[in-house]
Structure 1
Amino acid sequence: MKVSFLAAILFSHLLSGFNGAAGANYTNSTCPTNLIVDTNTLRFPFNTSNFLCSSVWSYQNFILMYQQTSASVWSFVLSAPNNYAYIAIGFSNNGKMVGSSAIVGWLTNAGAGVAKQYYLGGKNPGQCPPDQGFLQLAQAPIIMLQSWRLYLGFQLNTTQPPSQLIYALGPQYQVPGSDNYLFQHQDRVSTSIDYVTGQISTSNGGWSALQTAHGAVSLAGWGVLLPIGMLVARYFKGWEPAWFYAHASIQTLAFGLGIAGVVTGFLLENDVSKNVSAHKGLGIGILALAALQVTALLLRPKKESKHRKYWNWYHHNAGRLALAGAITNIFYGLSLVGQDTTPWFIGYGCYLGVIVLVFLGLEIMKLVPNAACGSLFFIGPERIRPTLE
């Protein structure tokens, strides 16, 4: 009960981490002094003195400066720290990356600035050709460096730009080569902007409701309940038959949540921009092992059967393999999110640390069965194991 209560508390804290949102430091205001474009250094072919500023991605310190400079022309400057990677801003009609057009800029190894429009036709670099897209550019985009910040400037011929914007940061030290094809980004976020007020809206700091559901049920089932169920089966067999019903109930609930995690994962597949094939494959493999475990439970031989030892070997090792895969896939899935998941890594890591300590403590007690507490756990309150000779 103490372990389950601790797990519930920890999981509730982890779940609250999904609700963190990227805040806006500047909305509908003139740009801070340190972001004002020095016209002597950065010579954009348009006036930037009265631009409005919005903090569009606080985690990566992306700031968008913009202004409607005429009835049919909008001017933009995207500012971000120089991380030796490309920066990108995409305009989308539906909030998704695929099908949008983006302005991307970077500095070459020689320090020259390169900026181009890209049509984001798919998730692979080959599906995102340069110098294509639906944006009507007034002139070629420009990117420059000032005080260790990149400034990507461009103008659009439009009366109203799309309000669904996507921002991306490329992999560090991997800028496009001579063919100008992009490497897969290391991080991205989808937002919407009110051009009048400068207000930025994001979905839980970049997490959608479906991503929240996928992460929550997967973590609860595979990451939290599964090890507790294994703990009950290994160390509480003295409490016959309560241990069996507790073990079966916990693992069945974990299996149900795992199914929900896989289903939401399939629904998410077309909405994420990163390659999740490995994450998907691991998830399906874990679900298959769990399904075999449920099937094995229905076919469990009697204790006196000569086949019981083979069943035990399979059941125990398949469970361990499923747990190892689940833990690996949870951490891998968190790394794919692209947001600040450090609290999740720390929180789940602390939970695993507690579980490991509990396992170690109970294992020591199991190896010293004459101790009163060890006998109570492993033999049960009515049948205390005799002293070993």
Structure 2
Amino acid sequence: MAARAALLILLAVLLFSGVVRGNAAGSCSSMSFPSNRVYAACSDLPRLSSSLHWTYEGGKGFGSLSFAFVAPPPSQSGWVSWAINPSGGGMIGCQALIAFRQPDGAMGVKTYNVTGYGPVSEGPIAYETSDLAAEFTGGAMRMFGKVKLPEGTTVVKQVWQVGAEVVDGVPQKHDFKPENLESMGTVDLLSGGISGAGSSASRNKNTHGILCAVSWGVLLPLGQIFARYLKTFKSADPAWFYLHISCQMLGYVIGVVGWATGLVLGNKSKGIVHTNHRNIGITLFTFCTLQVFALFLRPNKDHKYRLYWNIYHHSIGYSVIILSIVNIFKGMDILAVEQKWRTGYIVAICILGGVALILEIITWTIVLKRKSGKPKERPTFHLDIKWFDGLPNESITCFQDFKTTFLRHFASSRKYQKTDHCLFALKQGFTEPLRSYIKGLNQVAQDVSSATSEILMSVFSHRLVEGEFFRDLIQDPVKKFDEMLVKAASYINV
């Protein structure tokens, strides 16, 4: 009994999973069309909640493609389009079929050869068409028709689109949301395989956004926080400078890669121009490049132009932060990102801002504390008055006493220029070693600017004690004082 119950449960689970799998496989297979329109293949397209149904029959010299395209327009007065682009994967060159409500109120299909960006004009296309028709039911427009393709065509590049408005029988421009910009790809008419070109473009846009958000929006502000607040702490010098440079250079390199990715995306999206986002991005790249070059032109701290360099450096730096944050939010609007990504970046900015606010308070507290704790300097005179503090108590009773004491101190402490007479006052003692006598003579001679070699020789020889060295000088006199010192050295070393 238990085994039978388990078997029934298993069959129910398998049946339910099969139903779910069948529904997940695609809703296009459950659609039915009027006038006995039946198609051999169908595929749910990856964008704009649309689907394509078709039957392809090869013939001699050509192939016949019967199709039905289904998509919900943004409004009841809007339009839907399906096109084949034989020359590329974008909008230019599309041989388009556009269905919308005609001026008489009936649904109809018109052909358009899209040759540029801007208003489209009805006209013949490169493929022969027939049995074109359209209907509006269940909130979706359905477009039917037959297209004659060149012989051997099995894969076509398709572009599909929806728009919200038709004015005077002319479809107006569509939205530029990611879904609209990525509604293109290829369809294999034999195997039924569908590929979307939008995945690569979407990946590139996401890469561009992430690179710019990390570089301009996180690393550069973080580097400026290091520079402004860490250098207040003496122990962080020069670590703050290397942290600042590392964040700024890494942010610049990543930012340039993101900026280049944006240029590539712009070139691939001709006719789609986000002017403000582009201009701010170019300004950011220019400012950051100037900052990098300014690093090599930074004057020394004591240079007279350092103040002006600091003003320039700080002004450009804070401008970059403000422009970065503004442009990142503009980029999010363009990509139409989910609210969680926008919230995440706001949280990151708030965290950085909160850290900066706390560090700002700490910095000013430290600066003010240092200023208040620094002792006030007493006014000083150029005249040293320590001698006055050392005078005995009550030694000055009147101004005359002060004058006399001051002049006596000034006269005794004044340095006078020594003359040659100071040298002739020297004399070697009877027991004084020759080395000591020469050393004393040299010390006095350094303060006598007028002492020449002849004077030094005369002083040295005439004030020398009679001895073996004295007799040697008498017997073998020298002509220069340096030679006399050399001869004296030989007696000193004996």
Give the TM bin, normalised by the shorter chain. Answer: 0.7 to 0.9
* Alignment partner of 2:126 out of 119, 130, 134: 134
C-alpha displacement of 1:61? 0.9
Structure 1 residue ranges without an equivalent (≥5): 1-23
Number of aligned positions between the proteins:
335
Specify the code of the residue in structure 2 equivalent to 1:36: S
Deviation at 1:362, TM superposition (A): 3.6
Using the alignment, how far apart are the partners of 1:25 and 1:295 within structure 2?
Answer: 57
Q: 1:259 aligns with which of 256, 259, 266?
A: 256
Deviations 1:98-138 (A, max 9, x none): 2222222234698543432222223x214x43324323212
Tell me which amino acid in the other structure corresponds to 2:311.
W
Call closer, same or farther: CA 1:280–1:362 in 2, change over 3 Å.
closer
Match of 1:275 in 2: 272
Change (3 A) 1:275 1:64: same
Counterpart pick for 1:183 among 152, 173, 185? 173
Q: Check the 8 A contact 2:332/2:342 in 1, yes or no.
A: no
Aligned to 1:3: none
Question: Hey, what does 2:41 align to over in structure 1?
Answer: 52
In 1, Cα distance between the equivalents of 2:90 and 2:198?
16
SS at match of 1:299: coil
Contact persistence 2:84–2:158 (CA under 8 A): yes
Deviation for aligned residue 1:272: 1.6
Amino acid at match of 1:341: V
Measure the CA separation in 2 of the matches of 1:241 and 1:109: 75
- In the alignment, the residues of structure 2 paired with residue 274 and residue 331 of structure 1 have an alpha-carbon distance, to the nearest angstrom, of 22
Q: Supply the AA of the counterpart residue of 1:135.
A: Y
Deviation at 1:288, TM superposition (A): 0.8
CA RMSD of aligned residues (A): 3.3
Matched residue SS, 2:129: coil
Report the CA distance shift for 1:388/1:366 in structure 2 as closer, same or farther (over 3 A): farther
Q: Kindly state the Cα deviation for residue 56 of structure 1 after the two structures are TM-superposed.
A: 0.6
Report the counterpart of residue 221 of structure 2 in structure 1: 227
* Greater RCO (CA < 8 Å, at least 6 residues apart): 1
- For 1:167-316, list aligned pairs within 5 A: 167-170=160-163, 172=164, 175-178=165-168, 180=170, 182-186=172-176, 187-189=180-182, 190-203=184-197, 205=199, 207=201, 210-211=204-205, 213-237=207-231, 238=233, 239-278=236-275, 279-316=277-314
1:20 corresponds in structure 2 to none
Local SS of the residue matching 2:71:
strand
Measure the CA separation in 2 of the matches of 1:331 and 1:185: 19
- SS for the counterpart of 1:144 is strand
Which residue among 77, 85, 103 is the counterpart of 1:92?
85
Q: Normalized against structure 1, the TM-score is what?
A: 0.73
- 207-216 or 238-247, which deviates more: 207-216
Structure 2 segments unaligned to the other structure (5+ residues): 1-22, 374-494
Amino acid at match of 1:117: T
Which letter does structure 1 place at the counterpart of 2:38? S
SS of alignment partner, residue 31 of structure 1: helix
Of residues 228-237 and 210-219 in structure 1, the stretch that sits farther from structure 2 once superposed is: 210-219
Conservation of the 8 A alpha-carbon contact between 2:299 and 2:309: yes
The separation in 1 between residues aligned to 2:357 and 2:129, in whole angstroms, is: 68
Greater helix percent: which structure? Answer: 2
Cα pair 2:99 2:143 within 8 Å, conserved:
yes
Instruction: For residue 263 of structure 1, report the CA deviation from its aligned partner.
Output: 2.7
Partners of 1:273 and 1:135 in 2: CA distance: 25
Deviation of 1:255 after TM superposition, in Å, equals 1.7
- Deviation, 1:181, is 5.2
How far apart in 1 are the matches of 2:269 and 2:66?
A: 29
Return the alpha-carbon distance in structure 2 between the equivalents of residues 80 and 312 of structure 1.
59
Within-5 A mapping of 1:19-58: 26=25, 31-32=29-30, 35-37=31-33, 39=34, 47-58=36-47
The 3 A distance-change label for structure 1 pair 365 and 264 is closer
Higher mean displacement: 143-152 or 260-269:
260-269
Q: Deviation at 1:66?
A: 1.5
Distance 1:95 1:215 in 2: 24
Write the deviation string for residues 72-93 of structure 1: whole angstroms up to 9, x where unpaired: 3212211122421322222123
Q: Distance in 2 between matches of 1:230 and 1:108?
A: 60
